Chain A
Amino acid sequence: MPADAIATTRALVDEIYRTESRRVYATLVRLLNDFDRAEEALHEAFAVAVEQWATEGVPANPVAWLVSTGRFKAIDAMRRRVRFDASITELAARFEDVASTNAAKAGEEIADDRLRLIFTCCHPAIAPSTQVSLTLREVCGLTTEAIASAFITAPATLAQRIVRAKAKIRDAKIPYQVPAREELPERLESVLQVVYLVFNEGYSASSGSELTRPDLSGEAIRLGRLLVELLPEPEVIGLLALMLLHESRRAARTSPKGEIVLLEEQDRTRWNREQIAEGKTLIERSVASRAFGPFTIQAAISAVHADAPTAAETEWNQIVSLYDVLLRMNPSPVVELNRAVAVAMRDGPAAGITLIDALLARQELVDYHLAHAARADLYRRSGQLDAARNSYRQALALARQEPERRFLEKRLMELG
């Protein structure tokens, strides 16, 4: 066979691996009922594809071909093991039987399999931080090393957590299924939390010197799109909208030197209009359902900013009303803080300071650097510079992220 035919096939297989391997994997997990067996079968199937497609051409439905090849390879492996251990003969027969019954309905269920995989990785019986790693590993196909470096964990530690989680899925029999209607809202919430956590980790790293880690945000948006495609619930749509609208400002939110640029100082011509348009369409879709929740409201707030040609022309009144709705749905001191800032923008700094002081007096958010930073900013705007300096110092004492610290120090210096 000519070398270039092999090279062409290999490139094609690589491309299919990149786009479809997690889909094939999700189905193999269901058919083989085991994460590790599925992983092995997946790689065997792709290895066969490289050889066979070069001579016989690419099959009409590569995903179905890969699933069935992977399944046969796994059954072969089982048979080989059976020769050494007669006691699992019966098990192998039963397994083969189940696999072929499952394969019969494989076509219609392939799409659902990725959803099954997501819900299994985000099962509440798995620790939340492990849910995040497991989802990135199994659903997105990220390597353990990449996940470890993104979350500043030792690869060995992370690998061990993933192995343990997979063992628990197998041993405690966490089912490979999309939850029933009555369980869905609660379980979906934990899936959406995982996706949002991945996004936020990429959008604003919790510590360290880099403000953004675009790869993780990209993965979260990909997951969001997948979820919208498979399970278009209002809040799934709302979360994707929220992520797109935040992401649209990425280019504008840091200076070339990596310094924070606040919303009101951002160059709005650098906002990604395509992402904004897509986000707004999604919000309309979610709102039309009348069953939307906090993610959709937060997206709508972000969209009001996106619509303002300049910071001064922002519809603060609309933002305050959206925060009112959000607070009713989801009472939280952080939401109250954001609402206080919006009120200050609408009614003047004094109104905002009163609200923040009331929050701090309740002992809430006293350790949250952004509460002090917001208070400092409002004092700065109203010309009460001593009070502003005090609050900036308090914020600095609590801030952990390098770019945020540099920003606060800069503000303090400007006050003299």
Chain B
Amino acid sequence: MQYICLIAAENMMEHFTAEEAARQYDEYQEITEQLRRSAQLVSCNRLKPPEDATTVRVRGGKAQVIDGPYAETKEQLGGYYVIEAKDLNEAIQIAARFPGARYGCVEVRPIAVDDQTRTALGF
């Protein structure tokens, strides 16, 4: 079963000192390597800061484009992992190992596997 782990925090990589950021990168590198070895990694990446976000909505056939993320919250999405886990407990154990879980939080969401969605996406 696949889960996406959305890592959100107030403090993002861009706001860390160079030294802190380096430590974070090391830690992420380690856990990513571990997940890759145990075949639990599907994909992952860091996201650029919310200031770089653009939100698109189409209303009445017209695209409205505005600056910034869609949700104005203190905690911002900073990265994601798509992982393979046998159940929610295993996914939670993995999520708890991300450094972001210590200074922000990680939302764990199952990825849909229903036939309608799979067909719609051409799988």
Contact = CB atoms under 8 A, between A and B. Distances in A.
Interface of A: 87, 123, 125, 171-175, 177, 179, 183
Contact of A175 (B89, B108, B109): B89
Q: Is the interface of B mostly helix, strand, loop or mixed?
A: mixed
Contacts of A175: 86-89
Nearest to A183: B89
Contacts of B108: 172
A173 B110 contact: yes
B1 A173 contact: yes
Contacts of A179: 89
A172 B110 contact: yes
Interface string B29-65: 0000000000000000000000000000000000000
Q: Is the interface of A mostly helix, strand, loop or mixed?
A: loop
- The winner among B88, B108, B109 for most chain A CB atoms within 10 A is B88
A172 B115 contact: no
B115 A173 contact: no
Interface string B91-103: 0100000000000
Interface of B: 1, 86-89, 92, 108-110, 115
Contacts of A173: 1, 87-88, 110
A374 B57 CA distance: 59
Nearest to A187: B89
Given A87-B115, A175-B88, 5 more contacts: A172-B88, A172-B109, A173-B1, A173-B110, A179-B89
A276 B117 CA distance: 59
B66 to A, nearest CB: 32
Nearest to A124: B92
A174 B87 CA distance: 6
A172 B87 CA distance: 8
A373 B54 CA distance: 57
7 contacts: A125-B92, A172-B88, A173-B1, A173-B88, A173-B110, A175-B87, A177-B89
A202 B41 CA distance: 47
Q: Which 5 A-B pairs have the closest CB atoms?
A: A175-B87, A173-B87, A172-B110, A174-B88, A172-B88
Contacts of A172: 88, 108-110
A173 B112 CA distance: 11
A179 B87 CA distance: 13
Contacts of A125: 88, 92
B25 to A, nearest CB: 29
A271 B108 CA distance: 50
A183 B109 CA distance: 21
A171 B87 contact: no
A7 to B, nearest CB: 46
A174 B108 CA distance: 12
Contacts of B86: 175
Contacts of B92: 125
A191 B69 CA distance: 39
- The winner among A123, A125, A172, A179 for most chain B CB atoms within 10 A is A172
A405 B87 CA distance: 49
Nearest to B115: A87
A175 B90 CA distance: 9
Contacts of A87: 115
A125 B106 CA distance: 13
A91 to B, nearest CB: 10
A123 to B, nearest CB: 8
Nearest to B1: A173
Contacts of A174: 87-89
